[in-house]
């Protein structure tokens, strides 16, 4: 919906928060290794997670190993490679992999296919492959043609377009499924999901959250299934600060009210 509302709501209650990383919590850089999340933003995320009983996770196309480096010194539940790997609040990790007998021939065909596409980079993630063409946008059509050919040749694969990237991953893996999986176990159980993302890879997440009656927030312009919109990464930071402060104030008010009731009961 192109006419998504411009300002997400402030709310308190029984919510679980899910955030994409690149383009949402961090500005997109010319190379993925240059991406970082500011320290004060990480601290805000940690505080928001605490207020909501730990129900906050990052869901990204990056691997869990990469995510761990970007969020140090904090530890959050994580879903990497669009949910192909998922680590819960207790540190238990689940992974979906590609069959061993297709990984080598798939990588071989991909590397052969990009030989003439200067500037296109292949990122091997173990259970998925990403074709990055940010440095060579003129090869977009050729990259899509190559990815389409691979999906036709290897039916276990699904193609996931993104911003200047096309990924080949196990079929059935997407961010919506990752969010739904998190919601099946504590501390996410029985909470209303909130998902913030910026890319085509996040649309599955928006659809899942909408279906569950949650809050879906698109970062940036473009058609989307999300119900709300933030203009860019800086606006995400502002909203994150506002929602954390708002929930913190509500929590303090509730604590003060409870303490007042207990004091009154003791005096009676």
pLDDT digits (tens, 9 = 90+) for 167-212: 999 988 999 999 999 999 999 999 999 999 999 999 999 999 999 9
Q: How confident is the model at residue 12 (pLDDT cuts 50, 70, 90)?
A: confident
- 77's tokens: 């539940």
pTM for the full model? 0.86
Parse the chain into domains and list their residue ranges.
Answer: 15-96+173-259, 100-170
pLDDT of residue 260: 63
Tokens of 87: 């680590």
- Indicate if 40 belongs to the active site: no
The domain 15-96+173-259 belongs to what CATH superfamily?
HAD superfamily/HAD-like (3.40.50.1000)
Give the active site residue among 20, 88, 199, 202.
20
Q: Phi and psi dihedrals of 198, rounded to 5?
A: -125, -10
**For the domain bounded by 100-170, which CATH number is listed?**
3.30.70.1020
pLDDT band for 267, please (50, 70, 90 cuts).
Answer: low
State yes or no: pLDDT of 240 exceeds 90.
yes
Instruction: Give strand ranges (E) for the chain.
Output: 15-19, 56-59, 78-80, 85-87, 93-95, 121-124, 129-132, 157-162, 165-170, 192-197, 215-219, 228-230
Under 8 Å CB-to-CB from 107, ≥6 apart: which residues?
Answer: 122, 124, 129
pLDDT at 100 over 60: yes
Mean pLDDT confidence for 93-116: 92
């Amino acid at each position: 919906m192109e006419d998504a509302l411009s300002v997400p709501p402030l709310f308190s209650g029984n919510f679980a928060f899910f955030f994409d990383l690149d383009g949402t919590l961090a500005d997109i850089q010319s190379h993925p290794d240059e991406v970082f999340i500011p320290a004060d933003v990480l601290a805000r995320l940690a505080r928001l997670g605490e207020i909501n009983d730990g129900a906050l996770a990052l869901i990204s196309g990056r691997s869990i190993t990469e995510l761990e480096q970007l969020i140090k010194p904090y530890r959050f539940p994580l879903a990497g490679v669009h949910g192909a790997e998922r680590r819960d609040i207790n540190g238990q990790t689940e992974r979906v992999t590609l069959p061993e007998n297709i990984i080598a021939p798939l990588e071989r065909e991909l590397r052969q296919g990009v030989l003439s596409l200067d500037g296109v980079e292949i990122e091997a993630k173990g259970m998925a492959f990403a074709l990055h063409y940010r440095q060579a946008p003129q090869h977009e059509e050729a990259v899509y043609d190559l990815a389409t050919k691979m999906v036709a040749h290897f039916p276990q694969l699904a193609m996931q377009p993104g911003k200047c990237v096309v990924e080949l991953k196990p079929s059935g893996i997407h961010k919506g499924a990752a969010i739904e999986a998190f919601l099946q176990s504590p501390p996410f159980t029985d909470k209303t999901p909130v998902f913030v993302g910026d890319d085509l890879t996040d649309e599955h997440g928006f659809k899942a959250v909408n279906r569950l009656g949650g809050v879906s927030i698109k970062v940036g312009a473009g058609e989307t299934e999300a119900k709300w919109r933030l203009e860019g990464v800086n606006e995400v930071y502002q909203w994150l600060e506002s929602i954390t402060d708002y929930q913190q104030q509500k929590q303090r008010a509730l604590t003060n009210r409870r303490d007042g009731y207990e004091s009154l009961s003791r005096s009676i």
